[in-house]
Amino acid sequence: MKFKICSLYTLAICLSASLIITCGSAFGAGSKNRPEISAGERALAMMEVQNVFSKHAYYHQVGQFCEEMEDLWVKEDGPNAATCSWNNGGRIQNFAEIMANYCTNHYKSLQQTLTELSKKVPSVKDIPENVGAGGEYVMHTQQTPVIEIAGDGKTAKGIWYSIGIGVRPKINDDGTYTKSTEWMWEKYAVDFIKEDGKWKIWHLINVMDEPPLNSPVTVSLSGNAGGQGGAPGGAPGGAAPPEGANVGTDAGGGQLMASKVVDAIKWSPTVAPKIAPKFPEPYYTFSETFSY
């Protein structure tokens, strides 16, 4: 009995040592003698990072970009405000610039859209509670996450595939609206950093695969204006702006940032496909890896 107990004890020690060595080797020889977070801490961090970026999808669906910046991004007056960035057809650097384009300008555009809508459809009042009416409806869910947590536990990296739908209305003078319904395939690549013990978005890249599928249809707002009916179809359209591109007032108020629209990652039968953006790789501290 004593022999069996000792053997089990010895086996447990060996397995623990093996786990430590295996985890340490993931970051290369340079990580020796440097404190690393445990496997349990790493697993918890991965779930927390996933939750943070899942919230982005919910905020984006309802156009609450200002609330998203406050909740999910690094602090406006924090140590990482000057180095945070969003790259979506043009890199925007620092918190103030992202806030101005993603939050402030977006809200102004939504307000302008509501003002124009209320003139054409008087039943929709131009009041703060209705800001967002007449704008774009969009949903981008995050799938297939690949997440790496730094060995020191201070930063993290992740990429997601995002399949989404965008509905962009244009209000017509005859009491109808024309809508363009699009399916879009996008990728996000994100760096996260811990501030006051919480994971925050630090750097973000958003890029689209292929032009979206588009099908404009016209629908009556009042029920008696003869519009063209029909459900959205799958006819391929032109390369519409990706999520967050400046698409103008009629299309939802120019959601985001640069007027330059990022080129889609286009498939071609004559070119071998590649993974882009590239996977996050195991690393110990952020200075030893690349930045998204």
215, with CB counted inside 10 A (0-12, 13-18, 19+), is middle
Can you give the C-alpha Rg of the chain in angstroms? 24
Q: How far apart are CA 80 and CA 175, in angstroms?
A: 48
Is 24 a member of any domain?
Answer: no
Phi, psi at 290, each rounded to 5°: -85, 165
H or E stretch covering 33: none
**What mean pLDDT is reported for the chain?**
77
- Using DSSP's 3-state secondary structure scheme, residue 27 falls into coil
Output the CA torsion 277→279→283→285 (10° steps).
30
133 token code pair: 């009416």
Mean pLDDT of 47-60: 96
Q: How far apart are CA 228 and CA 173, in angstroms?
A: 15
CB atoms within 10 A of CB 116: 15
Is 225 a member of any domain?
Answer: no
Is 113 a member of any domain?
Answer: yes
CATH number for the domain spanning 77: value is: 3.10.450.50
Domain with 197 in it: 34-165+184-213+262-288
Is 237 a member of any domain?
Answer: no
What is the predicted pLDDT for the residue at 259?
A: 29
Is residue 181 within 8 A of residue 233, CB to CB? The reply is: no
> Among all chains, which residue has been given the structure tokens 């009556």?
220
Residue 173 or 113, more confident: 113
What is the predicted pLDDT for the residue at 208?
A: 84
Q: How far apart are CA 171 and CA 168, in angstroms?
A: 10
Residue 233 or 176, more confident: 176
Query: What DSSP assignment string belongs to 46-113?
Result: HHHHHHHHHHHHHHHHTT-HHHHHHHHBPPTTSTTTTT-EEESSSEEESHHHHIIIIIIHHHHHHHHH
Helix %, strand %, coil % of the chain (to 5): 30, 30, 40
Is residue 189 within 8 A of residue 204, CB to CB? The reply is: yes
- Greatest mean pLDDT range, 40-54, 126-140, 267-281: 40-54
- Greatest mean pLDDT range, 25-34, 135-144, 146-155: 146-155
CB neighbours of 61 closer than 8 A, spacing ≥ 6? 137, 138, 139, 140
- Greatest mean pLDDT range, 24-28, 125-129, 215-219: 125-129
Is 28 a member of any domain?
Answer: no
Is 6 a member of any domain?
Answer: no
What is the predicted pLDDT for the residue at 40?
A: 98
Mean pLDDT of 84-90: 85
Identify residue 142 by its one-letter amino acid code: Q
Is 174 a member of any domain?
Answer: no
Number of domains the chain is built from: 1
- Greatest mean pLDDT range, 118-122, 216-220, 268-272: 118-122
Residue 215 or 206, more confident: 206
How much is the pTM?
0.72
3-7, 34-38, 59-63, 65-69: the lowest-pLDDT one: 3-7
Is 135 a member of any domain?
Answer: yes
